[in-house]
Amino acid sequence: MKVQVNIKTLASETVTIGLTVAPEDDVQTIKERVALLEPNPFPQSDLSLAGAKLPEGKTLAACGVKDGVILDFEAKPSEDALASQLAELLTSRGALPTEELGLLYTLKHGVTVGVVLQALGKHELLGDFLGKFSKRFSVEGGQAKLVDEKPKDLPARAPVALGKIPEDAAVQALDIVVDVALELPAGRTRGEELSLRVGASDTVGDLKAMVAAAILVPFAGALSAIAFGGKDLPDGERLSEAGVGDGARLAFTAHGSEEALSAQLREILASRGPLSRVDLDNLYCCRYGVGAGEALRMLGWGEKLSAFLQRHPGFWLDGGHVSLSEAAPVVPPCAAAVANRPYLDLHEELCADDFHAKVAEGVDALAALLSDGTFLNVRRAAPGGAAVSGTGVPGAAGAE
């Protein structure tokens, strides 16, 4: 028999899948099958029918599950579960850089640590999360390791009189909203709204790091900007000095460019040394939410990551490995990328401001028709490629 399962993802979205099951299948087996289709690192989850949770030890038939019913699956995020999973990795591998620990977690559980922390309502970096479990983890110089749980004898200390904590506006906690956008050569995209709790003494640079860690924005580096009241704020300025108060709304914009992508790749290579193209792509994905190849396609260039690295100063490719080199060969942009530029410029001149909105509306309507009228389950629609007078423009998402 066939059933539908509504899966609540870690991003609080709902994904519907169809499963062919047998009446004698138990509830735990169905949970495991769902977890394979939609990555879920948390061991605790609920499978419900009409709002009633199904016990793991029973079969579907015993729970009254029949052909065509709709089941609901929801994972139960837990800080302790995440801490235990990270501790397991450190136990088997020893001390690791927090970046490498995050990569290993992604490879093992299928989701990034940033997504898991966001599901827990934690808009913070992995190192900050580990610091809250000081009895289990130690983070020094970017290296994470397990703490020896054996208690140590500490010398007795004389009691210290505590003074009154000053009530300073600089230590005030603020609840703010940040509108996040990505500025690309093909146009502005990825508008999201992020609610954060920050300190009035936090700097604009601190806020940038929090935003980038919360939603993993590509190109969120030196070329990103925070604006308040229509004015860009300098990184070193404190939020209180900029007049940001409780309930304020700010705008975060990451400007996608070749320079930003190159700087991010160079930063990874500088900290890790030579890497294969696959490892470099994976590390970029763990840090910024998309692979380096996908970030390159977002810029609108019709070339692969290897071609980008070969022609960009500062990179050296040798036998499939990428390293930093001031003497890297400089290769002009590929012919396809140069040929595409006039079409993209013409697109910007001809298209109305609501062009992308109309395209998105049409694609959503098509996805709904496919889901309702066929056996297909459309999870998402992503722009990629284009057509200009019948000629394909590789990598030029949104070109008419």
Q: Which pLDDT value is given to residue 301?
A: 63
d(CA 189, CA 175): 25
Q: Which pLDDT value is given to residue 355?
A: 66
Q: Which residues contact 288 (CB under 8 A, 6 or more apart)?
A: 212, 216, 217, 218, 219, 220, 264, 295
Q: Which pLDDT value is given to residue 34?
A: 79
d(CA 42, CA 46): 11
Whether pTM > 0.75 for this model: the answer is no
Q: Taking a C-beta distance cutoff of 8 angstroms, is the pair 182, 219 a contact? A: yes
Q: Which pLDDT value is given to residue 331?
A: 43
Q: Which residues contact 123 (CB under 8 A, 6 or more apart)?
A: 117, 194, 196, 197, 210, 213, 214
Q: Which pLDDT value is given to residue 390?
A: 42
Q: What distance lies between CA 319 and its chain's CA centroid?
A: 30
Minimal CA–CA distance to 143: which of 96, 99, 104, 101? Answer: 96
SS3 158: coil
Tens place of pLDDT per residue across the chain (400 aa): 888 888 887 767 788 888 788 888 888 888 877 777 666 777 778 888 888 888 888 888 888 888 888 888 888 878 888 888 888 888 877 788 887 787 778 777 767 777 788 777 777 777 788 887 878 888 887 788 888 645 445 455 555 455 454 445 445 788 898 888 877 776 666 567 788 888 888 888 888 877 876 666 677 655 678 899 888 898 888 888 888 888 899 988 887 778 788 888 888 888 778 888 787 887 787 777 677 877 877 777 667 788 888 887 788 887 778 888 754 444 454 455 566 667 666 766 666 556 666 777 788 888 888 888 888 888 777 655 444 444 445 544 444 4
d(CA 343, CA 345): 5
Q: Which pLDDT value is given to residue 349?
A: 65
AA identity, residue 383: P
d(CA 253, CA 228): 12
Helices (H) and strands (E) in the chain, counts: 12, 18
Residue 326 tokens read as 């001031």
For strands 224-228 and 249-255, give the pairing: antiparallel
